[in-house]
Structure 1
Amino acid sequence: MAIIKLSVIERRRLSAFITCVVFAIFAWLFTTLSNPYKFTIKQVVVFKNAPQKRAFHPLQSDTVSTIVQGTGWQLLFAKFNEDKKVVSVDLHTLDTKNYVVLNAQLKQINAQKDFDHEIISVSPDTLFFDFSSRTVKKVPVELVTAISYQKQFAQSDHVSIKPRYVTISGPAEALSKITSWKTDSIKMNLANEDFSGRVNLQNVKEGNLNILPKSVIVNIPIDEYTEKTIEVPVKLINNTNYDIVKVFPQKVKVTLTTSLTNYPDLNEDDFEAVADLDLWRKNGYSTLPVKVTRLPSYSKVVKIAPQNIDFIIKK
């Protein structure tokens, strides 16, 4: 393959030519992008100032096509602002009408935009709504968490949520499908202490629903866990014939994990260990396995010793 060798002067001329071409391209792009254009983009409709005495349901999609006027630069930057493509529609006219004219609100809509390009028309121009009686319903708060715990730490008691219920209002048909309302996610990594704070509820996605309050106070007790062994008496169940039965041993050792806070107060009264006599009567067991049927909340049985007990039935 032939290699073209250029002199120093020729290399300088070529470099100058390439530089001029690059500058020309950038100048052309700058001029082109500075010119005004009209372009169509899809935007999501969000509602504000919803009527308090009328429940409503939109009869069209929650997106509209907007014709936007702006420079090529504004069009380019709009592509990087997908999360800001929303149209905020004022619903105060629904107190007396069943429709909202979007083009009548263009000045108000453009004033709320974070970028410079201007919406000059919206399609569809008019949003229509269906109305029904507004009802009220209370639903429990559903806590959403994403918590990882430090080694030997865990949740040590029930979560406290205040208030436990929230009030939602809107169309009866929409409320019938709602059984709880979720919070924003509580995220903790390697947690080793209690969480206590105000957590927002997830936003209402339908413009015809209202929720009160908007946030709740959450307390998640977190404690270090350790092992403890307690002797627990064995209770015989399903002795339907009231036989005189003796079990050996009469107590078993239950090893469990429990929080350091609860550790000093645990005793055998907090537990119930049972053996089922039906396993002998119906299945012919020669020894009876022991199960722990009651133990403190957020404690976990590690082992039971012995796991099976002997028994004697007196005739």
Structure 2
Amino acid sequence: MAIVKLSPVERRRLTAFASCLALAIVAWVFTVLSNPYDFVIRKVISYKNSPQKKSFHQLQSDTVDATVHGTGWQMLFSRFTDDSKPLDIDLQTLDKRNYVVLSTQLFAINKKQAENRQIVGIDPDTLYFDFSNRRFKKVPVKLVKSIKYEKQYFQSDDIEIKPSEVTVSGPSEVISKIEYWKTDTLRGTDINETLQGQLKLQPVKEGNMSVYPKTVQVKIPVDEFTEKSLQVPVKVINNSNYYNVKIFPQKVKVTFVTSLNDYPNIDEAFFVAAADLDLWRLHGYNVLPVKINRLPPYCRIVKIEPANVDFIIKK
């Protein structure tokens, strides 16, 4: 293969030519991308000013194709950037008709757009809706939580949620299936004191529904727990034939953990220890295991001594 040898002067000329060509291409690209263009991007729509006395169901997708008037640079980078800000569509006209014309709202929509990135058209231009009667229903609030307590600390009383109920409204067929409304997840780690504060409710997923209020006050009592032991009498249950039953021992030692606030107030009257005679009558047990059928709220049993009791039956 023949190799072309260039003189130093020719190499300088070739380098100068290549540099000029590259600069010309760069200048041309900048000029082209600086010109205005119309390009299409997909946008999610959200609704405001929904009708208060009737519910609706949209008959098309919740996304539209928006034609944007901008520079070539914006068109280029629109393919790489995600403009997730939704288009706010005003539904005030649904009080009189079952459709909304988006072109009549372009002025209001573009107020929230950058001046050099104005929307000139939306496809589809008309959104249609199916109406149904709006139903209102009160449902309890369900707390969603993910809490880890510091060692020896636990929830010590009932959780308080104010208000305990919220009002949901929307199509009757949807509202009838709602039994409760969840909060956002309340999270905490190494908790050693009472948790309280404002928590948002999970947002509605459909534009034709609403929930009120949107926040609740939550309080989770937290206290340090410690062990306590009591002698609790054992009660014989399921003595359907009214046998004369004697058990030994008649009391068992119940060790449990309870909060420091409740510690001085809890005595054996808060507990019911039971021995089930059906275990002997139906299954032939020689000893009866002791079970705690009632205990104070938020107490946890550590052990029962003895775990089984002997018995004598006199017919």
Match of 1:56 in 2: 56
Sequence identity (%): 57
Residues in 2 aligned to 1:30 and 1:94: alpha-carbon distance in whole angstroms: 46
Residues in 2 aligned to 1:313 and 1:105: alpha-carbon distance in whole angstroms: 88
Q: Does 1:153 align with 2:156?
A: no
Gaps of 5+ in 1: 1-14
Q: Does 1:276 align with 2:276?
A: yes
TM-fit CA distance, 1:43: 1.2
Distance 1:43 1:306, change over 3 A: same
Query: Aligned AA for 1:277?
Result: L
Match of 1:109 in 2: 109
Match of 1:10 in 2: none
Residues in 1 aligned to 2:232 and 2:55: alpha-carbon distance in whole angstroms: 59
Query: Helix, strand or coil: the match of 1:184?
Result: strand
Match of 2:243 in 1: 243
Per-residue CA deviation, residues 183-214 of structure 1 (Å, 9 max, x unaligned), is 12212122111111121212222221122212
Structure 1 residues 279-288 or 59-68, which shifts more? 59-68
Q: Does 1:210 align with 2:200?
A: no
Correspondence 1:225-244 to 2 at 5 A: 225-244=225-244
Correspondence 1:76-87 to 2 at 5 A: 78=78, 82=82, 84-87=84-87
Query: Helix, strand or coil: the match of 2:94?
Result: helix
Residues in 1 aligned to 2:125 and 2:301: alpha-carbon distance in whole angstroms: 65
TM-score w.r.t. the length of structure 2 is 0.87
Query: Helix, strand or coil: the match of 1:218?
Result: strand
Per-residue CA deviation, residues 207-228 of structure 1 (Å, 9 max, x unaligned), is 2112221211111111122222
Match of 2:126 in 1: 126
Per-residue CA deviation, residues 10-32 of structure 1 (Å, 9 max, x unaligned), is xxxxx999999998887666555
Residues in 2 aligned to 1:210 and 1:258: alpha-carbon distance in whole angstroms: 42
Distance 1:24 1:230, change over 3 A: farther
Residues in 2 aligned to 1:17 and 1:270: alpha-carbon distance in whole angstroms: 98
Q: Does 1:265 align with 2:256?
A: no
Asked whether the equivalents of residues 74 and 116 of structure 1 are also in contact (C-alpha less than 8 Å), the reply is no
Per-residue CA deviation, residues 260-309 of structure 1 (Å, 9 max, x unaligned), is 22122111111111000011111111100001111111211111111110
Residues in 2 aligned to 1:71 and 1:77: alpha-carbon distance in whole angstroms: 10
Residues in 2 aligned to 1:258 and 1:24: alpha-carbon distance in whole angstroms: 82
Per-residue CA deviation, residues 89-146 of structure 1 (Å, 9 max, x unaligned), is 0000000010000111111111123685111111111100111111111111111112
Query: Aligned AA for 2:58?
Result: P
Query: Aligned AA for 1:303?
Result: K
Query: Helix, strand or coil: the match of 1:178?
Result: coil
Residues in 1 aligned to 2:19 and 2:192: alpha-carbon distance in whole angstroms: 61
